Amino acid sequence: MRIAVTGTPGTGKTTATERLASKLEERDAAESSADFDVIHLNTVLEDEALYTEVDADRQSKVADLDALAAWLEGREDTIVESHLAHHFDADRVAVLRCAPEPLEKRLLERGETEAKAAENAESEALDVILAEAVDEHGLESIYEIDTTDRTPDAVAAELAAVVTGDREPSAGDADFVGYLT
């Protein structure tokens, strides 16, 4: 089984997946957690140079999705974490969401430019990643998790419920369109 954990940069994907193993153990699902490897796809992109170019305006690397798909091929029982994770085969897709204002603040605090933080906040308000994930995988595979004002441990517990099948699919519950007005 492959589980994708995706969302706009700054929604808490990396932090939550780093805490996921302990949450699975707390849920008495030690057998499940032992079989899953967490793949931080952005690290793979960097370490394996799986990008086509560097976008100077956005100060980011342009991922080579075909090369990343080839790298992931044959890797099962994984949790793939990245804002790109929904572009690849997955049995379940957890889409982490966050209100645009705190999202923008998080991104600025970690050193992103104002332009990049604003672009990501707008993307979050427009449901860009959620819409892409639903289009790619269908509503029955999507598990939307609002991380706004939630601790990383609470988000990791929600992810554990997705992994163990103790949570129903959901999409469209978080509504941040008011940010755009």
Annotated binding residues for ATP:
10, 12-15, 110
Query: Residue type at 39?
Result: I
Binding-site residue set = 10, 12-15, 110
Alpha helices in the chain (DSSP H): 13-26, 30-35, 41-47, 65-72, 100-109, 114-125, 128-137, 152-164
Residue from 19, 171, 153, 24 nearest 97 by CA: 171
To which residue do tokens 């499940």 refer?
32
Residue from 40, 53, 120 nearest 84 by CA: 40
Residue from 6, 23, 24 nearest 90 by CA: 6
β-strand partners of 143: 94, 170
